[in-house]
Amino acid sequence: MPKLSILVGTMYGGALDAAEQVKPLFEQAGYTVAVIEQPSVADITDSNADLALFCVSTTGSGDYPGNFVPFVRNLHDQSPSLTSLRYGLIALGDSSYGDTFCGAGRALDALLADHGATRLGERLEIDAMETFMADDAAIPWVEEWIIAQQLEVA
Ligand SMILES: Cc1cc2nc3c(=O)[nH]c(=O)nc-3n(C[C@H](O)[C@H](O)[C@H](O)COP(=O)(O)O)c2cc1C
């Protein structure tokens, strides 16, 4: 079975919740799914890790959540080629923070692109001002994403 890693960056658990809620959708589509709460670069550079979903919230002033900081630091330091990585990105934020809305997700997207990774589809940005439970937005988006990107393997 192909593998899908869901890499989570979260402060208060909303992004982790969303990851756990979408996990069965990928299982139904034929994947072995790992929800990774302490992501490492190896999770996206291993030979069988060519599809990933990032679920990342923003804290501070457009900053990465604490659990996600080592991943980003190591990505900068190791600077691996990610040309075989295809990924989706769910960014959680709050538009009341203005310019830094979904800042971590947006920065991550740019960082992955810099390393040659290919985003499948558009980034989902979930605004806490509009959506109380992130999974309410994440579940329909993932259902659509699986269809639109023809990810079903079962
Ligand atoms: C201290 C603090 C700082 C935040 N800073 C930002 C920010 O700069 N930009 C943004 O879009 N959202 C910001 N948020 C909102 C969170 O990203 C949003 O509530 C998100 O849903 C939290 O997800 P989590 O539960 O996975 O951490 C901040 C929230 C807190 C509590």
Query: Atom 4 in ligand 1: which residue has the minimum CA distance?
Result: 59
Question: Is the per-residue pLDDT at 50 higher than 90?
Answer: no
For 114, other C-beta atoms within 10 Å of its C-beta total 12
For residue 61, the CA-to-ligand 1 centroid distance in Å is 9
3-state secondary structure of 146: helix
Q: What is the CA(127)–ligand 1 centre distance, in A?
A: 9
Predicted local distance difference test score (pLDDT) of residue 73:
98
Average pLDDT over residues 44-71: 94
Q: Which ranges of 35-133 would DSSP assign to H, the alpha helix?
A: 42-45, 69-78, 103-114
C-alpha span between 66 and 58 (Å, rounded): 10
Residue 129 CA, ligand 1 centroid: distance in Å: 11
| pLDDT (mean) for 112-132 | 97
Distance of CA 28 to the CA centre of its chain: 19
To the question of pTM greater than 0.85 for the whole model, the response is yes
- Average pLDDT (117-144) is 97
Q: What topology does CATH give the domain 3-148?
A: Rossmann fold (3.40.50)
Mean pLDDT of the 89-99 span: 98
Residue of 63, 97, 99, 130 to mutate, ligand 1, most atoms within 8 A of C-beta: 97
pLDDT of residue 25 exceeding 80, the answer is yes
Query: For residue 125, what pLDDT is reported?
Result: 98
**Cα separations in angstroms, 85 against 49, 60, 107, 113, 136:** 7, 29, 17, 10, 27
Percent of the chain with pLDDT over 70: 99
Average predicted confidence (pLDDT) for the chain: 96
Residue 101 Cα to ligand 1 midpoint, Å, equals 8
pLDDT at 154: 64
Ligand 1 mean position, distance from CA 116 (Å): 28
b/e burial code for range 118-128 (CB count within 10 A of at least 16 → b): eeeeebbbbbb
**Pocket perturbation via mutation, ligand 1, pick of 57, 61, 133 by most ligand atoms within 8 A of CB:** 57
- What CA–CA distances, in Å, run from 57 to 39, 47, 86, 154? 14, 27, 20, 30
How sure is the predictor about 63, in pLDDT bands with cuts at 50, 70 and 90? very high
Domain range summary for the chain, segments of one domain joined by + = 3-148
